Structure 1
Amino acid sequence: MEIARMPLPLPSSAGVTLKPRPRSRWWAELMLVLGVYAAYSVCRLMAQGGTSTAVDNGLAILRIEKALFLNAEHPLNRLFTSTPAIGIPADFLYASLHYLVTPGLLVWFFLRRPDAFRAARTWLLLITLLGLVGFVLVPTCPPRLLEAGHGFVDTMAQYSSYGWWGGDASAPRGMGALTNQYAAMPSLHVAWAVWSGLLMWRHARTPLVRWLGVIYPLVITVVVMGTANHYFLDAVAGVGVVVGGALLTGPVTRAADRIRATATARFRTSRPSPTESATSSPTAPETRSPAIVSGGCETSAGERFPGQRTRTSTTGTTSADDTPATAR
């Protein structure tokens, strides 16, 4: 999976060929990203399903994992709970990297890889929107919110005295009501980490950063399961929305270019061109044919101008230009 290094060719519409898009203004990109994320957060908060439905979906996922021997959440959660030296750093990673690495990569692409920024940004926005669809269609209770009999411990609540979060996942203390506790399927922590890792591997110039692109999503996958915030299948679904976003990035970008081309063409046709404006302007000078000195009149036979010599037929007298007749 690759992000194109060169800008996509822009289509023409109605005979208008667009030039390559200029570099976006930083404040416009910031407003776009923040606006989409704010809309996503509001929709995510409004998409809270019933508790019973979310619990049923969570238990169904757990049963499927046990049947397929994919239940890695229990051993990891026991390790994080019994070993503060692992559990506390894991909680910090869960509560911080999600909001630091992803925006940091966007800024880095904007400054250092402007040719690939647009595709990377569009890909991330599509991943986020696809995640929202999953939250609406499949509200899922995370392992930490299941009854204690299912064997999970909320490490974020257990170690909350060490960080800024409370008992509501990564939400700051006292702001738990502003987050959807049942938005677990898919895991956007994993999705954003995979997006970041792929771009780091693709565009990094040093082997260290490229390998960090491999390690980072793996660490986040272990962290979200060990802290009991996600199931393993939530992480798999997170990878799925990354793939879906990658497949949609090209069509969405081309559709946006077509809309831009059509809007530009209509805007140009709705405005008179400078030539048309000059022609139709009342102050434009009129085009006149050169004036005819004689006014279209001709002299009569035998009439001559004052001082003009007459030509004789018998002698070689000169005409008005004093040129001998025999020389004509």
Structure 2
Amino acid sequence: MRTEHARPAPTGAPAEQAPTAPPVAPSQSRRPWWRRGRWELLLLVYAAYDGSRLLASNNLVQAQQHGQDLLSAERALHLSPELWLNRAFTTHSWLGVPADFAYATLHYAVTGAVLFWLWRFRRAAYAHARNWLLVTTTLGLAGFVAFPTAPPRLLDGSAGFVDVLAQHASIGWWSGGGGVPKGLAEMTNDYAAMPSLHVGWALWCGLLLWRYSRNRVLRALGLLYPAAIAVVVVGTANHYLLDCVAGVAVTALGLWATGLIARLGTWITARRAADYS
């Protein structure tokens, strides 16, 4: 019986190649997770936030005068809740102590948690939210340098304000220097009251929770959180009411500027693509 053998391919014919898997984008395979999320940018801004004391004025008299100017402006507008709210926090420990823990903890903890939640579960919204936070913080740093302002707790004693965190420092991990951990008070900028990034970051958190959370409780907390932080920072004598208003304004301006930067980046990319085509 005759056996048939397969004929060899003609000389010069291309050899059949096995199918290969589509290449994986570097951003999804080799790039580490912290670069995929650009966390290094956040760390850089955080370092600038805490290091702004190197650029800010050390002139206590000037900073106190700016604080007094804010109080005078509020009184002219019949809006000056700082003193009576501060007295309520110093008189009633059931108000003051929780406010101290909130001031010393939530500013970084909640902001970091919301940022991680967006990166982990709402990836499509993460980049814009991150950039919004970066731009807002940068604007706040510019305000600290341009208008150094002593908080109410650092005004002359005749103003009548009491540092609530210093009052309860024995039961917390913070020092008397604005809610920072004990031993690190010298590493903070004491004249960074205007604008209030505590309120600005809280508003950022609240709006994003309201926009992207599917949980009704979280959405409600998102609405309440900025208002609660505003009460905390004013009652503990760390900010003026106008600081809170400025914090809201800076956050809104940061949102607008983030969109503008994104559109500008898209336009530049399109122009470059057109030049190379």
Paired letter, 2:148 = P
Alpha-carbon offset, residue 177 of structure 1: 0.9
2:177 aligned with 1:145: no
Count of matched residue positions in the alignment of Structure 1 and Structure 2 = 249
Which of 158, 166, 178 is equivalent to 1:169? Answer: 178
Match of 1:194 in 2: 203
Which of 228, 251, 263 is equivalent to 2:237? Answer: 228
Paired letter, 2:33 = W
More helix by share: 2
Alignment of 1:69-218 (within 5 A): 69-218=78-227
Alpha-carbon offset, residue 237 of structure 1: 0.2
Alpha-carbon displacement from aligned partner over 1:282-310 (angstroms, at most 9, x marks no partner): xxxxxxxxxxxxxxxxxxxxxxxxxxxxx
Is 1:127–1:245's contact at 8 Å kept on the other side of the alignment? yes
> With structure 1 as the length reference, what TM-score do the two structures score?
0.71
Q: Which runs of 5+ in 2 are unaligned?
A: 1-24
Q: Do the aligned partners of residues 262 and 41 (structure 1) sit closer, same or farther apart at CA in structure 2, a change above 3 Å counting?
A: farther
Is 1:45–1:179's contact at 8 Å kept on the other side of the alignment? no
Is 1:48–1:180's contact at 8 Å kept on the other side of the alignment? no
Paired letter, 1:93 = A
SS in 1 for 2:88: helix
CA distance in structure 1 between the aligned counterparts of 2:207 and 2:173, rounded to whole angstroms: 30
SS in 2 for 1:76: helix
Q: Percent identity?
A: 49
Match of 2:41 in 1: 32
Shifted more, 33-42 versus 214-223: the winner is: 33-42
Q: Do the aligned partners of residues 36 and 257 (structure 1) sit closer, same or farther apart at CA in structure 2, a change above 3 Å counting?
A: farther
Q: Do the aligned partners of residues 264 and 51 (structure 1) sit closer, same or farther apart at CA in structure 2, a change above 3 Å counting?
A: farther
SS in 2 for 1:180: coil
Alignment of 1:9-28 (within 5 A): 26-28=33-35
Higher alpha-carbon Rg = 1
Match of 2:22 in 1: none
RMSD: 2.2
Alpha-carbon offset, residue 205 of structure 1: 0.5
Match of 2:63 in 1: 54
Alpha-carbon offset, residue 263 of structure 1: 7.3
Alpha-carbon offset, residue 42 of structure 1: 2.1
CA distance in structure 2 between the aligned counterparts of 1:214 and 1:201, rounded to whole angstroms: 7
Is 1:45–1:178's contact at 8 Å kept on the other side of the alignment? no
Paired letter, 1:90 = A
Alpha-carbon displacement from aligned partner over 1:24-57 (angstroms, at most 9, x marks no partner): 8531122121122213332344223421111110
Is 1:44–1:132's contact at 8 Å kept on the other side of the alignment? no
Match of 1:313 in 2: none
Is 2:66–2:149's contact at 8 Å kept on the other side of the alignment? yes
CA distance in structure 2 between the aligned counterparts of 1:103 and 1:259, rounded to whole angstroms: 31
Alpha-carbon offset, residue 70 of structure 1: 0.9
SS in 2 for 1:47: coil
Alpha-carbon offset, residue 94 of structure 1: 0.2
Alpha-carbon offset, residue 121 of structure 1: 0.4
Q: Which runs of 5+ in 1 are unaligned?
A: 1-19, 270-328
